[in-house]
């Protein structure tokens, strides 16, 4: 490694140390910090963000990046310099006053949103969303984009993705999902009734969840599981990965699948290349690829029949009364019940992407100025009716339900659907390469799949872009087909669609 590149890496690792500290402070804020700790914590995080910005845009680092960009870089060096330049460009193009205004507006808007959702009062939130949109559009124009302005938003969460390719895929999903939901609805089957609607003591939910976490291969020497209001995975290093979940005594599946979901994120973080720690190469590819790892474990494994052939008897040891006489078929049908519902985070695998599609279409239209904020509630309700056949009775269960827009996260939603598509395509490839995979799962052996994902996806870090990774692992571009085939087979059988 030459001296200039060495100096570049030293500075980049310092930035990563700051991110590590920010990550832990934020994790603590969501888990253990006492309520009155908010003020000093916000100050501390603000100071760290300021130092980070200063170091990232330090003229010496800017000059280093420029010098290195001028060379013929290859491999990890090219990746590291390219990603730091990306971050730097963004940081340099947005003036400090705009950063401050955006962050203050977003935290105030978030508070107003909490209130507005409570009162189901969209007009209360409306001027704040307008303000956020205007500021975010200003950022997009300063950072620059090709084609639709929405590309500037999407690129922040799914680097190198383009709305010109994402929109047609989501449209294909809609064309196949809407009729599938209708056909399932027409059967009139409601298998979950009774089984899942019981008291499930939290301590036993936790005991089972922790066992599943260990069986999945999550290393508790390099990670933790705690409780928070909104479950998340915070990876500050492959050696220190924090997961959270939440328990509800009346609801078994929330915490259970929540733990498996976050464990999928956590396995990705623990599997990242430790030797590249603190540099872009050692990081994850995109939010969509991250989500593919959580969805793969949660849905393709966790909601599969073979998984429960092994785990139902173990779950019954924890809940002998509640699950007395419940067989694998009944349990499998119950955890895979499809039902159009108002709330995205409670949606099943089949209806979920329609919730995403609706948000994606609306936010794209908003930033492209084809619709106004004032029109959102009505458009939301119309789309819910068109896609899912139900209409929200109020804004709280409609347009006001998600926090994303209130914190300025516009362009984030499509990464959830991309995650589902990536997951199905990766999983199909895993099954091709390991023909006995589901028999292994039925015996409780989950580690072969974990090792496969470690090798094919995690250990590569950020060396490939999302599109390149999909091609490298599966030999094809990302396609809607794998996900739709998976859904149509699984739910066609479950609901006897023939
Ligand atoms: Mg997730």
Determine the distance separating the centroid of ligand 1 and the alpha carbon of 279, expressed in angstroms.
23
Q: How far is the CA of 300 from the centre of ligand 1 (A)?
A: 14
Residue 479's nearest CA partner among 470, 487, 469, 468 is: 470
Alpha carbon of 276 to ligand 1 centroid (Å)? 24
Catalytic positions are 262
Candidates 255, 370, 229; CA nearest to 315 is 255
Query: Does one domain contain both 198 and 323?
Result: yes
Residue 92: half-sphere exposure toward Cβ, Cα within 13 Å? 14
Query: What is the structure's pLDDT at 100?
Result: 85
143 in a structural domain: no
Between the CA of 262 and the centroid of ligand 1 the distance, in Å, is 6
The alpha carbon of 293 and the centre of ligand 1 are apart by a number of angstroms equal to: 9
Q: With respect to residue 132, please indicate whether it lies within any of the assigned structural domains.
A: no
Residue 369 token pair? 């100025």
For residue 324, report the distance from its CA to the centre of ligand 1, in Å.
32
**Residue 117 and residue 226 share a domain:** no
Give a yes or no: residue 152 inside a domain: no
Task: Note whether 384 and 392 are within 8 A (CB).
Answer: yes
E strand or H helix that includes residue 240: strand 240-245
Distance 241 CA to ligand 1 centre (A): 14
Write phi, then psi, for 236 (nearest 5 degrees).
-100, -15
Say if residue 183 is in the same domain as residue 121: no
Could you give phi then psi for residue 58, rounded to 5 degrees? -55, 125
Task: Report the C-alpha gap between 464 and 447 in whole angstroms.
Answer: 24
Rounded to an integer, what distance in angstroms lies between the CA atom of residue 283 and that of residue 289? 12
**pLDDT (0 to 100) of residue 107:** 84
Q: Which residues contact 66 (CB under 8 A, 6 or more apart)?
A: none
User: In this structure, is residue 142 part of a structural domain?
Assistant: no
> What is the side-by-side strand order in the sheet with 233-237?
223-227, 240-245, 233-237
DSSP codes, 285-343: S-HHHHHHHHHIIIIIITTSHHHHHHHHHHHHHH-TTTTTT--HHHHHHHHT-----S-
Give the model's pLDDT for residue 498: 76
Q: Could you say which DSSP state residue 279 is in?
A: S
Which residues contact residue 314 at a Cβ distance below 8 angstroms, ignoring those fewer than 6 apart? 208, 211
List b or e across 15-47, with b for residues whose CB sees 16 or more CB atoms inside 10 angstroms: bbebbbbbbeebbebbbeeeeeeeeeeeeeeee
pLDDT in tens, the chain (498 residues): 699 999 999 999 999 999 999 999 999 999 999 989 988 988 898 899 989 999 999 999 999 999 999 999 999 999 999 999 999 999 999 988 898 898 889 888 988 999 999 999 999 999 999 999 999 999 999 999 999 999 999 999 999 999 999 999 999 999 999 999 999 999 999 887 789 989 999 999 999 999 999 999 999 999 999 999 889 999 889 999 999 999 999 989 999 999 999 999 999 999 999 999 999 999 999 999 999 999 999 999 999 999 999 999 999 999 999 999 999 999 999 999 999 999 999 999 999 999 999 999 999 999 999 999 999 999 999 999 999 999 999 999 999 999 999 999 999 999 999 999 999 999 999 999 999 999 999 999 999 999 999 999 999 999 999 999 999 999 999 999 999 999 999 999 999 997
In a domain, 407, yes or no: yes
The DSSP secondary structure of 397-441, one letter per residue, reads TTTTS-SGGGGT--S-THHHHHHHHHHHHHHHHHHHH-TTHHHHH
Please name which of 255, 253, 286, 280 lies closest in space to residue 268, comparing C-alpha atoms.
Answer: 286
Element (H, E) at 242: strand 240-245
Tokens of 311: 């785990």
Cα pseudo-dihedral 178, 179, 181, 183, rounded to 10 = 170
Residue 73: helix, strand or coil by DSSP? coil
Same domain, 279 and 420: yes
| CA 264–ligand 1 middle distance (angstroms) | 8
Do 99 and 53 form a contact (C-beta atoms < 8 A)? Answer: yes
Shared domain check, 197 and 61: no
CB–CB of 248/479 below 8 Å?
Answer: no
Do 221 and 94 belong to one domain? no
**Cβ contacts of 489-492, under 8 Å, gap ≥ 24:** 490/336, 491/180, 491/184, 491/336, 491/338, 491/350
Q: Residues with Cβ within 5 Å of ion ligand 1?
A: 294
| 332 and 440 both lie in a single domain | yes
Q: How many domains does the chain have?
A: 2
CA 140–ligand 1 middle distance (angstroms): 25
Regarding whether 318 and 258 lie in a shared domain, the answer is: yes
Q: Tokens at residue 148, please?
A: 């639709």
User: Is 467 inside a domain boundary?
Assistant: yes
For residues 214 and 56, give the distance between their C-alpha atoms in angstroms, rounded to a whole number.
38
Structure token pair of residue 304? 């599969």
| End-to-end Cα spacing for the chain | 61
User: Nearest to residue 246, comparing CAs of 226, 260, 264, 219?
Assistant: 226
Q: How far is the CA of 298 from the centre of ligand 1 (A)?
A: 10
Give residue 369's region: left, alpha or beta (phi > 0; psi -120 to 50).
left
Q: What pLDDT, on a 0 to 100 scale, did the predictor assign at position 128?
A: 96
Query: Do 54 and 197 fall into the same domain?
Result: no
For position 257, what pLDDT does the model report?
A: 96
Q: What is the DSSP letter of 238?
A: T
Domain coverage including residue 88:
3-127
Q: Exposure of 179 by Cβ count < 10 A (0-12 exposed, 13-18 middle, 19+ buried)? A: exposed
- The answer on 205 and 317 residing in a single domain is yes
Q: Do 387 and 298 have their domain in common?
A: yes
Question: Does some domain include residue 140?
Answer: no
Q: Are residues 101 and 229 in the same domain?
A: no
CATH number at residue 378: 1.10.1370.30
Asked whether residue 387 is domain-assigned, the answer is: yes
Domain end marker among 127, 155, 188: 127
């Amino acid at each position: 490694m030459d001296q200039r590149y060495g100096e570049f890496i030293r500075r980049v690792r310092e930035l990563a140390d700051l991110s590590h500290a920010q990550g832990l402070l934020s994790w603590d804020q969501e888990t253990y910090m006492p309520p009155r700790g908010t003020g000093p914590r916000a100050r501390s995080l603000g100071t760290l963000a300021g130092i980070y910005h200063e170091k990232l845009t330090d003229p010496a680092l800017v000059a280093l990046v420029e010098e290195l960009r001028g060379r013929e870089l290859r491999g990890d060096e090219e990746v590291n310099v390219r990603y730091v330049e990306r971050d730097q460009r963004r940081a340099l193009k947005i003036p400090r006053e705009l950063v401050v205004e955006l962050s203050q507006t977003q935290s105030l808007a978030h508070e107003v949103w909490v209130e507005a959702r409570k009162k189901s009062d969209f007009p209360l939130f409306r001027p704040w969303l307008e303000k956020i949109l205007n500021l975010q559009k200003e950022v997009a124009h300063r950072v620059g984009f090709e084609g639709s302005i929405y590309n500037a938003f999407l690129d922040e969460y799914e680097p190198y993705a383009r709305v010109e390719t994402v929109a047609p895929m989501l449209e294909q999903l809609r064309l196949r999902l809407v009729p599938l939901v209708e056909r399932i609805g027409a059967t009139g089957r409601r298998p979950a009734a009774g089984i899942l609607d019981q008291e499930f003591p939290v301590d036993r939910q936790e005991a089972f969840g922790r066992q599943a976490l260990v069986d999945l291969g999550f290393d508790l020497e390099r990670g933790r599981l705690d409780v928070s209001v909104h479950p998340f995975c915070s990876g500050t290093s492959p050696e220190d990965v924090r997961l959270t979940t939440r328990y509800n005594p009346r609801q078994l599946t929330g915490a259970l699948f929540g733990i498996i979901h976050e464990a999928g994120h956590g396995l990705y973080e623990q599997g990242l290349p430790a030797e590249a720690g603190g540099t872009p190469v050692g990081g994850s590819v995109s939010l969509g690829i991250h989500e593919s790892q959580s969805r793969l474990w949660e849905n393709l494994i966790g909601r599969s029949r073979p998984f429960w052939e092994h785990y139902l008897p173990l779950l019954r040891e924890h809940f002998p009364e509640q699950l007395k006489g419940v067989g694998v078929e009944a349990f499998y049908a119950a955890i895979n019940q499809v039902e159009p519902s108002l709330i995205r985070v409670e949606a099943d695998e089949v209806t979920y992407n329609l919730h995403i599609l609706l948000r994606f279409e609306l936010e794209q239209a908003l930033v492209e100025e084809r619709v106004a904020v004032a029109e959102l509630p009505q458009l939301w309700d119309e789309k819910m009716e068109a896609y899912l056949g139900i209409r929200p009775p109020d804004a709280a269960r409609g347009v006001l339900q998600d926090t994303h827009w209130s914190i300025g996260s516009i362009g984030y939603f499509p990464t959830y659907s991309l995650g589902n598509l990536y997951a199905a395509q990766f999983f199909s490839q895993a099954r091709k390469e390991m023909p006995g995979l589901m028999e292994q799962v039925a015996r409780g052996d989950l580690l072969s799949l974990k090792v496969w994902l470690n090798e094919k996806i995690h250990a590569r870090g950020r060396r490939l872009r999302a599109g390149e990774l999909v091609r490298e692992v599966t030999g094809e571009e990302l396609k809607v087909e794998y996900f739709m085939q998976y859904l149509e087979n699984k739910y066609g059988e479950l609901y006897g669609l023939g």
